[in-house]
Amino acid sequence: MPVTAHARPPELSRQRDQRADARRNHDHLLEVARLVVAEQGVGASLRDVARRAEVGLGTLYRHFPTREALLDALLRQGFARLVELADELAATHTAVDALTAWLRELALSAAVYRGLPTALAATLDDPDSALSTACGALRRAGGQLLANAQAEGSVRPDVTGLDVFALATAVAALAEQGPLAERRDHLLGVLFDGLRPGPPLATQPLPRGPRDDAGPPHG
């Protein structure tokens, strides 16, 4: 087997081969994007990013073909840290505390950019998104913590990693609304307590299914 270029991560090698101006543009674009997204949220104007980076609009699209590719680059480090954190917490805390602490960190991390919690939840829909592979790693990390707690019997067995990931980001999304910001930890507490095993709150008669009268197009 030849020794040359057999296992170097493709991203890194691509960066190596880049022309100097391309590499400079890439990095500068990322810096500026971080500022603009911090200001305007994940729906930030891409034109603004290119403008403030003093770069042609096509250059932005060349380096980040889609908005989610840009977000992915912006979030890569923080996501990696979260994945590591899962292992650290698993090693240092009880299963339940590791799970809840990690989910809280997930909610905090999702709040770094306005609209990100919703964007992460939207990721669940199309697995082709540039963000969704990164989210997959997050979900696996959280799923492991969940499985640990479930194996102990301290968390109800009928919730999935998808469930808790979605619920945590949903709480993060709610906390973006002004009056709920300070209740974030409280809402997370309600969510966590919903994970306790035990009899359900309601006898769940569900008085009727989807109403047959007055649907959206004609009511």
Partner DNA sequence: ACCTGAACACCGTTCAAGT
* Residue 207 site contact among DNA, a copy of itself, none (CB < 5 to 8 Å, cut-off depends on kind): a copy of itself
* Residue 47 site contact among DNA, a copy of itself, none (CB < 5 to 8 Å, cut-off depends on kind): DNA
Nearest Cα to Cα of residue 79 among 109, 39, 49, 52: 109
Contact set for DNA, span 53-112 (CB under 7 A): 55-59, 61-63, 65-67
Regarding 13 and contact with DNA (CB under 7 A), the answer is no
By beta-carbon proximity to a copy of itself, the closer residue of 21 and 212 is 212
Regarding 35 and contact with DNA (CB under 7 A), the answer is no
What is the distance in angstroms between the CA of the first residue and the CA of the last residue of the chain?
70
Applying CB under 7 A, the site for DNA has a residue count of 22
H/E element holding 164?
helix 161-174
Q: Which long-range contacts (CB under 8 A, 24 or more apart) does 118-126 make?
A: 118/169, 118/173, 119/42, 119/68, 119/71, 120/169, 121/166, 121/169, 121/170, 121/173, 124/162, 124/166
Nearest Cα to Cα of residue 155 among 165, 141, 145, 170: 145
Q: For binding to a copy of itself (CB under 8 A), which residues are involved?
A: 34-35, 37-38, 77-78, 81, 89, 93, 96-97, 99-101, 104, 108, 112-113, 118, 121-122, 124-125, 154-156, 158-159, 162-163, 166-167, 170-171, 173-174, 177-180, 183, 185-187, 189-196, 198, 200-207, 210-211, 214-219
